[in-house]
Structure 1
Amino acid sequence: MNILGIHHVSAMTKKAQQNVDFYTTILGMRMVKKTVNQDDPSMYHLFYGDEVGNPGTELTFFEIPQIGQNHNGNHSISTTSLRVPDDEALEYWRDRLTAYEVDHDGIQEAFGRHVLPFRDHEHQRLMLVSDEGEHGVASGTPWEHSKAKREYGITGLGPIHLTVPKVDWLESIIVDVLGFTFIGDYNDQKARTVHVYSVEEGGTGAEIHVHERFDLPPERLGRGGVHHVAFRVADEQELQQWIDLLNQNEVGNSGFVDRHYFKAVYFREPNGILFELATDGPGFATDEDMEHLGESLALPPFLEDKRTQIESILEPIHL
């Protein structure tokens, strides 16, 4: 039983079309699945990733039209990193973000790597991280039809940043149960210590960066905020073993959940952040041809008989 790295991150947006425009046009990611929130089919669930939506490359969004702005704070997934091939790619992205008038902080250094923090149109906290000289969990491959230069394209999810009041509480889950290892720390731009944890093959696709803060109110989730982070497990058999382990450690959880494109279990660590364990398969080509991923509204089998009703509620999205 091993956590293989980061699987996906799911965030919040107010307007699906604006979200699509930012992540496909400006960031050049591929929409690999246009579907709905399976727990509330009245809202879109949009998946962006590499050329086929490989595990570890997926950034997803729930659309909630009435949602207010996120109020950043503690007990939160506070930054989502996106991997790029090397330092030269960061220079390309700095210029591209500037040209599109995207708010960014310029190229910086964090944990011995070059990074480029920026915000999307809803103030979603994002960071490009260079994979130059990196070894560890393999990255994905940018889509050949990307609107950004493919040789500099986003190749997957990088380190996930958490902000919590109690690092030892978090360690009781990520270290004692999930098997992450503390590998070092560094100072952020304001000289505050950030603790780094890694799992399995390590590298940018398998790290959690933890900011311990005592001076922040709890985050109020809204557009521009992150709902949960998922970590990779190999298959359904191993997922069941993880559920057994969570139960043995008295970690409250959802039990087995079939998301059609992957199987999952959800639970909260003691600071209140929502975690998910998700299988690598079966993947997004389950119900669509690989060449046409994300072009049509895809529904899991249990919602297919409600397609007409669902489509009548959703506002069409143009790629």
Structure 2
Amino acid sequence: MSIATSGLHHVTAIAGDPQRNVDFYLKALGLRLVKTTVNFDDPGTYHLYYGDSAGKPGSLLTFFPWRGAPLGQRGTGQATTTAFSVPESAIGWWKSHLAEAGVEVSEVVNRDDEDVLTFHDPDGLIIALVAHTQGDPREPWDHGFVPPEHAIRGLHSVTLSVDQEEATAGMLVDDLGLRQVGADSNRFRFAAGQGGAGALVDVLVTPEAPPGLVAVGTVHHVAWRAPDEETQALWRDELIDRGVTVTSILDRQYFRSIYFREPGGTLLEVATDEPGFAIDEPLLELGRALKLPPWLEPRREEIEGILPQLTLPSPVETR
């Protein structure tokens, strides 16, 4: 493969109640809601994007909140942990902060010389905070509920659970351009680009685990970065030439996407860095209003009648 990704673009998961989802990711994790839109394939459902101040690629965790949908099952063939990068000195603060918010947290463990704190969101999605030791130059969202000196910098890594690693590792290396940078028992680490936070994926081999079922509380897909549409189109052609089944290029309004599955079963996406989230509302107002793509705008009244109303908490209310 002549094209390689520079790192993670976003992770998309499935939630239950959208208001509970907003409250948790804004209040407990201190992220910014950078876009309130709908699932373009199911416009009666929100698509909520959380990230840094501008929703830069590599900072994003997004959700399809389907109220009343069944809980999923974590297992092989899916991404089972989404990890964020926090300052090296912040893990103790986060452990106390989450406990005060009523979140049950794990003991801090050390992995690859970094402290890791793991917990579940209200729907059971596994989230980890990693005290990144190599320095993370990314700026946090500094107008949220979490003080900026402790705040999340962006995605750190994702973990893919598989029943065997060879084929999955082959696609990561040969089709995405990653390289293996570590191995510890049944965990294999791969890095994109320059490596470091936002460019890592762990492949966890758990043949004893059941097959995963994607529903509430699980990851739907993991997206990797492409710099532009031209590169994405060439990438798609190369993937097809290598025998990978790939979707057509889909317009997601804020980026363009192609989708395919890695051999272990996880749905992957390659998403463009541009045009970004400020194309249909000012940067200072991101996420506050429901934004629809042009082809759904004629149905706004119908869609707004279906979607539950959201109340966005503001840190100003608590100061």
TM-score range, shorter chain: over 0.9
CA contact (8 A) 2:134 2:196 kept: no
Letter in 2 for 1:143: W
Q: Which residue of 1 aligns with 2:192?
A: 199
Alignment of 1:167-206 (within 5 A): 167-186=165-184, 192-206=185-199
CA contact (8 A) 1:139 1:205 kept: no
Q: Which residue of 2 aligns with 1:305?
A: 298
CA contact (8 A) 2:159 2:203 kept: yes
Q: Which residue of 1 aligns with 2:51?
A: 49
Cα distance in 2 for residues equivalent to 1:273 and 1:299:
28
- Calculate the aligned-residue CA RMSD, in Å: 1.1
Cα distance in 2 for residues equivalent to 1:226 and 1:30:
20
Q: Which residue of 1 aligns with 2:282?
A: 289
Cα distance in 2 for residues equivalent to 1:200 and 1:294:
30
CA contact (8 A) 1:2 1:200 kept: yes
Q: CA deviation at 1:212?
A: 0.6
Gap runs ≥5 in structure 1:
187-191
Alignment of 1:11-160 (within 5 A): 11-86=13-88, 88-134=89-135, 140-160=138-158
Cα distance in 2 for residues equivalent to 1:103 and 1:232:
33
Q: Give TM-score scaled by structure 1 length.
A: 0.95
Q: CA deviation at 1:257?
A: 0.9
Cα distance in 2 for residues equivalent to 1:5 and 1:121:
27
Q: Which residue of 2 aligns with 1:244?
A: 237
Letter in 2 for 1:42: G
Q: CA deviation at 1:35?
A: 0.3
CA contact (8 A) 1:54 1:140 kept: no
Cα distance in 2 for residues equivalent to 1:52 and 1:73:
33
Q: CA deviation at 1:196?
A: 0.4
Q: CA deviation at 1:140?
A: 3.3
Q: Which residue of 2 aligns with 1:189?
A: none
Cα distance in 2 for residues equivalent to 1:127 and 1:224:
14
CA contact (8 A) 2:175 2:239 kept: yes
Q: CA deviation at 1:139?
A: 5.0
Cα distance in 2 for residues equivalent to 1:60 and 1:31:
9
Q: Which of the residues 224, 232, 246 maps onto 1:231? A: 224
CA contact (8 A) 2:14 2:66 kept: yes
Q: Which residue of 2 aligns with 1:163?
A: 161
Cα distance in 2 for residues equivalent to 1:291 and 1:314:
24
1:208-250 CA deviation, whole Å, 9 max, x = no partner? 1011111111011221100000001110110011101111111
Cα distance in 1 for residues equivalent to 2:16 and 2:306:
15
Q: Which residue of 1 aligns with 2:255?
A: 262
The SS at the match of 1:150 is: coil
Cα distance in 2 for residues equivalent to 1:314 and 1:139:
37
Cα distance in 1 for residues equivalent to 2:238 and 2:112:
32
Which structure 1 residue ranges, 4+ long, deviate > 4 Å from structure 2? none
1:121-162 CA deviation, whole Å, 9 max, x = no partner? 11110100112224xxx6532222110111110110111101
Work out the number of aligned pairs and report it. Answer: 310
Q: Give TM-score scaled by structure 2 length.
A: 0.95
Letter in 2 for 1:17: Q
Q: CA deviation at 1:103?
A: 1.4
